[in-house]
Structure 1
């Protein structure tokens, strides 16, 4: 049996995926708007840590960066942006291919589901973040296991 985290290549694979997504997001004229106010120099590493934790890897994001409540507050309160969300998911799907995973394969489809679910969760708070409770845990998408062979 292997985990999704192992199938993606562990933290190194998540870091490659986060870097590929970030590059594509900045190149997309609609998605790049989300970064027009600037972003942290360690954005890629923080995204990789979040994704790592989400797929069953070590809880590095929770231990060093914050909770799901913090992430939701960072991404909420910016009004609805359906086109940006769709294009952001498209950038993520392309980033999956950039790291040599097939988006239709087990790891690729699970990563797509993870990103899409996160996009939907954060879109629920597009009008404001006041209703986000403290202490939410990062959702885990590591419940699926499959034969390694």
Structure 2
């Protein structure tokens, strides 16, 4: 049985997805400032490794970085609801730039569902203007 990674074209497709995403992030007013100017290539590589491994490709992420621990690795970055939504918006543009022949709707849906869950999971800051939580 082949993996989703193989079914959608493997390294080429995932490289296109990640490159399209980061091409937008570099000039984005919400996400861009979260990245150090001297590590764009590293950030892009790490996302590519993660997505590749998650969807059944080579386990390069684990080999190079260890277990993903996404919440822990993203905690230093101020990810509120607006940042999560923007991440999804930019990823959707990139995903939609890849034709349905390459990523058929069923696989696209699986990928998008995962992206939505991860974006929500990584929120680690309250939105501006949100009243502070009260102890019960």
Normalised to the residue count of structure 1, the TM-score between the two structures is: 0.70
Say whether the 8 Å CA contact 1:11–1:49 is kept in structure 2. Answer: no
> Paired residue for 1:89?
88
Number of residue equivalences: 123
Greater Cα radius of gyration, structure 1 or 2: 2
Q: Secondary structure at the match of 2:122?
A: helix
Contact 2:14 2:51 in 1 (8 A): yes
Q: C-alpha separation between the residues in 2 aligned to 1:104 and 1:34?
A: 32
Contact 1:15 1:48 in 2 (8 A): yes
| 1:25-40 matched pairs, under 5 angstroms | 25-35=25-35, 37-38=36-37, 40=39
Secondary structure at the aligned position of 1:92 is classed as: helix
| Shift in CA distance, 74/39, structure 1 to aligned 2, threshold 3 Å | farther
The one of the two structures with greater contact order (alpha-carbon pairs below 8 A, sep at least 6) is 1
User: Tell me, what secondary structure is at the counterpart of 2:26?
Assistant: helix
Q: Deviations over 1:123-148 (max 9, x none)?
A: 2xx15xxxxxxxxxxxxxxxxxxxxx
RMSD: 2.3
Report the alpha carbon displacement of residue 73 of structure 1 after superposing the two structures with TM.
Answer: 2.3
Task: State the TM-score, normalizing by the size of structure 2.
Answer: 0.76
